[in-house]
Amino acid sequence: MSQSLLKIPKTVQTDIWAHLLPKRLRFEEAAFMFVRREPEDNAEYFSYLEWTPVPPKGFLSRSGFHFELTDEMRASVIKQAHDLGASLVEFHSHKGRRSTEFSLSDLQGFREFVPHIWWRLKGRPYIAVVVSRSGFDGLVWMTDPSDPQRLDGIIVEKSTLKPTKLTSLRYGYYDKRTV
Q: pTM for the whole thing?
A: 0.92
Q: Convert the pLDDT of each residue in 122-155 to its tens digit.
A: 999 999 999 999 899 999 999 999 989 999 999 9
pLDDT, position 5? 96
Structural element, H or E, at residue 140: strand 135-141
Letter string b/e over residues 91-130, b meaning 16 or more CB atoms within 10 A of that residue's CB: bbbbbeeeebbbeeebbebbeebbeebbeebeebbbbbbb
Structural element, H or E, at residue 38: strand 30-39
Domain residue spans of the chain: 3-171
> Considering only 27-31, 81-85, 105-109, 165-169, which range has the smallest mean pLDDT?
165-169
Could you please state the CATH topology (level 3) that the domain comprising 3-171 is classified under. Cytidine Deaminase; domain 2 (3.40.140)
Res. 171 pLDDT band, cuts 50 70 90: low
3 state SS of 60: strand
What's the mean pLDDT when you consider all of the chain? Answer: 90
Give residue 169's Cα distance to chain centre. Answer: 18
Nearest to 17 by CA among 124, 129, 176: 129
> How many residues in the chain?
179
Mean pLDDT across 10-39? 94
